[in-house]
Amino acid sequence: MSDRRSATRQKLYEAAVTLIAEQGFSATTVDEIAERAKVAKGTVYYNFASKTELFEGLLKHGTELLTVSLRRAAEGRPPIEGLDAMIRAGLEFIAAYPSFAQLFIAETWRTNRSWHEALRELRDSAVAVVADVLDEAVRQGQFSADLDTQLTASALYGMVLVVALDWLAFQPERSLEDVHAALVRLVHGRITPD
């Protein structure tokens, strides 16, 4: 794909995610997406066969960005440090793309959509990055051998997603450092007095 086409698709994704987060998938029209992206309606259809295909591409694009961000954060670090870095990377991603995070959460519950299975697979790929780090921590003896790493990875993924949205919607005065520190304390089990 050419750089120009990639840039156009990025503009369409940004326009679509904002509109769909604001008013929902069904209420958002291709005309509105084109207008928000400042392109002709035909440009939308040149890049995507339908609004549904655009939306599926948007979900894939956003989730891949998050997955790459998580993987890079953990790369070359000891597992515990990698988890801390992934928590921060997740918060940074959601702060940068809050509309995508809102949309992702909303669509998770809409199991009747044609893209639900694709959404699950994309979510699984991001959660797998976290599970890999947890598996390594278990191998190194840093976590209990009976830790359910898949369920724990899902819990961490969900925790960061929901806490980040709560932070942005209800506690925007807090810094990313404050939110990160609170989540790291939970992960490290340091919420009870010594």
pLDDT, tens only, 26-70 = 888 999 999 999 999 999 999 999 888 888 888 888 888 899 999
pTM of the model: 0.85
pLDDT at 55: 85
Q: Are 136 and 79 in contact (CB under 8 A)?
A: yes
Residue with tokens 């780090």: 133
Asked if the model's pLDDT at residue 15 lies above 60, the reply is yes
pLDDT at 51: 86
User: Judging by beta carbons within 10 Å of its beta carbon (0-12, 13-18, 19+), is residue 117 exposed, middle or buried?
Assistant: exposed
Cα separation, 5 vs 92, in Å, equals 27
